[in-house]
């Protein structure tokens, strides 16, 4: 791979969160980026084009369109869409295997698959095992493949996992036991890690868990409290608060995370500036939401 910034790298998911972060990191490194998009006229696709990204229209159901889009690229990054039901899990596997097959047909020299942590094994979490199945398909394909396996997004603390302030105390509530460490990564760093790998960073074993921090609930709450200058409290919730069985199974697995400790040193060899939670909180300018007791 050319490391002088003149390589062409194809990205699937460029209009989304992780693929968007990969594009940001690739452009910073001076790569030429070709985004495989289904809607070239969408606002997000146009915004990419305005930054110099080439748009290649693809239809997953028309394999030739994907093969054409992958012609003459130096490397190909792909993620797979969110699945919230068993039907969507099968669709995710279908998309992933179709992209892998197109990469074989286009003789892509290096594929980086944005998988998920733990996808080296079957875990019983449907939307993680889907990624395991895609990894296995890639392995059988003969393609040179590297797996980047992201952990939970820190950005979830701005949405579904947002702490609240009650009576002057930062309170974090998650369906996770107090003593279970949660593996976390910022989306920015997923992009940086994937870009480094696309540019040829050495990845022992052909797979890296993308992780920037690993903290128990009380320690996560304390990181938000320290930033806000407020005391903090963590409360473990029952799994029944989760909207579907897929997520309940995922949090059952999260509770066992200490069986598979993270290797932060391995990540730092690829992306030395990977953020921990405190750094992410600072860098995003997170502010404590209004105190519910005073609302």
| Residue ranges binding ligand NAP (CB under 6 A) | 13-19, 38-39, 42, 44, 60, 79-82, 95, 116, 127, 150, 152-153, 156
Cβ neighbours of residue 279 under 8 Å, at least 6 residues apart? none
Nearer to ligand NAP, 79 or 171 (CB): 79
For the bound state, the minimum distance from the C-beta of residue 136 to ligand NAP, rounded and expressed in Å, comes to: 16
For the bound state, the minimum distance from the C-beta of residue 179 to ligand NAP, rounded and expressed in Å, comes to: 21
For the bound state, the minimum distance from the C-beta of residue 185 to ligand NAP, rounded and expressed in Å, comes to: 8
Nearer to ligand NAP, 53 or 79 (CB): 79
Residue nearest to ligand NAP (CB): 16
Nearer to ligand NAP, 165 or 212 (CB): 212
Query: In the numeric block, which tokens belong to residue 178?
Result: 């107090």
Cβ neighbours of residue 216 under 8 Å, at least 6 residues apart? 178, 179, 180, 181, 182, 234
Nearer to ligand NAP, 97 or 169 (CB): 97
Nearer to ligand NAP, 80 or 146 (CB): 80
Instruction: Tell me which residue of 239, 128, 224, 215 sits closest to 171, measured CA to CA.
Output: 224
Query: In the numeric block, which tokens belong to residue 112?
Result: 């980086």
For the bound state, the minimum distance from the C-beta of residue 218 to ligand NAP, rounded and expressed in Å, comes to: 20
* Helices marked H in 62-202: 63-69, 86-105, 126-141, 187-198
For the bound state, the minimum distance from the C-beta of residue 61 to ligand NAP, rounded and expressed in Å, comes to: 8
For the bound state, the minimum distance from the C-beta of residue 244 to ligand NAP, rounded and expressed in Å, comes to: 13
Q: Residue 281: exposed, middle, or buried by beta-carbon count in 10 A (0-12, 13-18, 19+)?
A: buried
For the bound state, the minimum distance from the C-beta of residue 266 to ligand NAP, rounded and expressed in Å, comes to: 18
Nearer to ligand NAP, 7 or 80 (CB): 80
Residue pair 37/72 in contact by the 8 Å Cβ criterion: no
Backbone angles phi, psi at 39, to 5 degrees: -130, 85
Query: In the numeric block, which tokens belong to residue 61?
Result: 């159901």
Residue 150 DSSP code? E
Nearer to ligand NAP, 2 or 39 (CB): 39
Distance CA 71, CA 74 (A): 9
């Amino acid at each position: 791979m050319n490391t002088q910034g003149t390589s062409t790298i194809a990205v699937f998911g460029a209009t989304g969160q992780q693929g968007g972060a990969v594009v940001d990191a690739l452009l910073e490194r001076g790569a030429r980026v070709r985004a495989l998009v289904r809607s070239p006229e969408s606002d997000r696709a146009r915004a990419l084009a305005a930054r110099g990204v080439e748009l290649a229209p693809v239809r997953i159901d028309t394999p030739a369109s994907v093969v054409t889009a992958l012609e003459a690229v130096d490397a190909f990054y792909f993620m797979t869409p969110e699945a919230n039901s068993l039907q969507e899990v099968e669709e995710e596997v279908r998309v992933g295997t179709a992209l892998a097959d197109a990469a074989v047909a286009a003789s892509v020299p290096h594929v980086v698959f944005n998988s998920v942590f733990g996808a080296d094994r079957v875990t019983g979490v449907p939307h993680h095992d889907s990624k395991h199945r895609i990894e296995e398909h890639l392995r059988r394909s003969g393609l040179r493949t590297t797996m980047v396996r992201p952990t939970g997004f820190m950005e979830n603390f701005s949405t579904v996992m947002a702490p609240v302030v009650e009576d002057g105390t930062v309170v974090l509530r998650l369906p996770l036991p107090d003593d279970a460490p949660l593996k976390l990564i910022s989306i920015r760093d997923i992009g940086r890690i994937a870009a480094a790998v696309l540019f040829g960073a050495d990845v022992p074993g052909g797979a890296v868990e993308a992780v920037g921090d690993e903290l128990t609930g009380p320690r996560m709450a304390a990181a938000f409290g320290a930033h806000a200058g407020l005391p903090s409290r963590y409360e473990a919730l029952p799994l029944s608060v989760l909207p579907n069985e897929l997520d309940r199974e995922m949090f059952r697995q999260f509770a066992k995370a200490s069986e598979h400790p993270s290797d932060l040193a391995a990540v730092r060899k690829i992306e030395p500036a990977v953020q921990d939670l405190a750094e992410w909180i600072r860098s995003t300018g997170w502010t404590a939401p209004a105190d519910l007791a005073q609302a």
